[in-house]
Structure 1
């Protein structure tokens, strides 16, 4: 009986140790050469809209079309802005003539006319002074009246004033226009030219062009509709680069680094796609319900973005894939790897695993 009890106790202890070893959380993660993750293909999308409010005159692409950077996707009507542009160009041309006239000054003939008016004013003054001297001599004898003397004195004063006016006019004609007037005309010309430049930009923006290479995901606007900056016309899916949104279990965080080589597998293709780890989230989260993994749903994970080389555009948005990370290999050149935040600071079992 004693032996049976001892054997039973030993058996119970062994079973308990096995259960404890199997189910107890390990404080140190074993290092492995390959880590498997599960995720979906994700793409960046660009919402394209016109900068002007005008009616759509032409639509050149449809959903699913591959487009290149700079390719015209749609155009708006240009009649209204072209008319405004023509008016602005005419105003600039007219103001240029104004600036040229002010800068050049008066014509030689106008200056000669001013000089001739000065000479005429001098002659009238001389004649008035001569007549005044005669009247002054004849007035005491009664040959001329006092009224005649007052009239000639007034004529002399008027002739002197007229001469001063003509002399000042000649001086202004020879000096030219004021610098302030010229500066004002030049500033007005610059303002009108700026209006032309703005209209030129606005006419160019009547064409909606693709900012990057990609695929038209949604065509929202249609021919003849009124486009506006607040309304999206196309949704463009950026095909390069593509990346996998996967989630890394917390115990394996210390074994994965940015730039690590990855192989991306899909059920639709026999051969894997080349990839590399481009981003590791600095913030932990619980596994999203949409991701199917072999781990528990409540396991703590970190979002990982694995960039994929897909020159033939075979991988589609939302396609489920399996990622195999080679923890012993890192890309030699990581210059094209997008790193959002390198400041990962954690103190957990994953960091302890680095010492294994």
Structure 2
């Protein structure tokens, strides 16, 4: 009997020690707050910036792609021809702008001055001829026709000299500031046209993946016509994954933005996640929530972000979310 008492006491001591050990190792750990949700589908609709015929498309549906990877190209032959024409126009406009800034050449001014002097001499000769013909006509030595011809020659010489003097004045004064500004603006416009075509050829006609992901849908083939409004690929983002779940008002006080959580499924185990957003508006529980006791309750939408570089979580997959209060 004494031995039984001793054994009982030893067992009791062992139970108390085990209980104390468990409490000591678990007293700082807060209970988990559990919810259920689904992996949210996040995808990007990809289209060319420019319009044209598709020359090449790379990945098929289900293929993984990396950010910046070229996945499609347009035929740019017509754009390159237009670019050559725009380049020629740019060179012409820049040459004209350079001439405008430098003004007229000294040789041109000197040539115009010489022409003006020659026309002055011609006018003087025409004036003398007219005076002589007028005197002869008055003396009835020359015909009226000769006088009329001399008068017409005099008027023509005056007009030519006047035009030449105006041209000389323009050359000596140089171009007006407005004319120089107009030539420089034309050169800038031509330069912008070339830059626009370069962008269409080098950037807008090339389709790149904006992020790491998996091609979910391919909606065109080489030879099809593309435009900015036509989707060519639908890209599903691989990582991070977004999880959508719902919590009750009682759970809401235990869930904070930035808090840690564990995402688990029956097949992949668990992944670390972090709360990225909590709705401020209550709503009736969506049909996708799996627990029957929550389907008539008001809940708050919660979104979490989980790194999944190995792409273990599938889009739309149901998951269990264990929030860790205080973390």
Q: Give the TM-score band, short-chain normalised.
A: 0.7 to 0.9
2: distance between equivalents of 1:225 and 1:134? Answer: 86
Tell me which of 153, 174, 180 is aligned to 1:176: 174
**Counterpart in 2 of 1:260?**
259
Q: Match of 2:320? A: 322
Distance of 2:156 and 2:123 partners within structure 1: 8
Q: Which residue of 1 aligns with 2:210?
A: 211
Q: Could you tell me how far 1:253 is from its partner in structure 2? A: 1.4
Hey, what does 2:66 align to over in structure 1? 68
**Cα RMSD (Å):** 2.8
8 Å Cα contact 1:135-1:144 kept in structure 2? no
1:109 aligns with 107
Aligned pairs for 1:276-315 (under 5 A) are: 276-293=274-291, 295-315=293-313
Write the deviation string for residues 242-296 of structure 1: whole angstroms up to 9, x where unpaired.
12111102222122111111111121123x2111211111111222222212524
Among 194, 197, 208, the alignment partner of 2:195 is: 197
Structure 2 CA distance for partners of 1:292 and 1:114, relative to 1, 3 Å: same
Cα distance change on mapping 1:57 and 1:139 into 2, 3 Å: closer
Check the 8 A contact 1:40/1:245 in 2, yes or no. Answer: yes
Deviation at 1:233, TM superposition (A): 1.0
- Show the counterpart of 2:78: 80
String of CA shifts for 1:197-227, please: whole Å, max 9, x gaps: 2222222211111112222121222222222
Distance in 1 (alpha carbons) for counterparts of 2:131 and 2:223: 91
CA contact (8 A) 1:43 1:239 kept: no
Q: TM-score, normalised by structure 2?
A: 0.79
After superposition, the Cα gap between the structure-2 partners of 1:78 and 1:166, relative to the gap in structure 1 and judged at 3 Å, is closer
How far residue 145 of structure 1 moved from its aligned partner, in angstroms, is: 5.8
- SS of structure 2 residue aligned to 1:102: helix
Structure 1 segment 127-206 matched on structure 2, within 5 A:
127-128=125-126, 142=139, 159-203=157-201, 204-206=203-205
User: More displaced, 42-51 or 153-162?
Assistant: 153-162
Q: C-alpha deviations, 1:286-319, integer Å up to 9, x for none?
A: 2222221252421221111122122322212122
Structure 1 segments (4+ residues) deviating >6 Å = 132-140, 148-154
Distance 1:165 1:91, change over 3 A: closer
1:4-40 per-residue CA deviation (whole Å, 9 max, x = no partner) reads xxxxxxxxxxxxxxxxxxxxxxxxxxxx731111111
Distance 1:275 1:91, change over 3 A: same
Aligned counterpart in structure 2 of residue 118 of structure 1, from 116, 119, 123: 116
Where in structure 2 are there 5+ consecutive unaligned residues?
Answer: 1-29
1:139: how far off?
A: 8.2
SS of corresponding position for 1:240: coil
- 8 Å CA contact 1:266–1:321 kept in 2: the answer is yes
What residue in structure 1 maps to residue 35 of structure 2?
37
Q: What number of residue pairs does the alignment pair up?
A: 296
- Any idea what SS the aligned residue of 2:238 has? strand
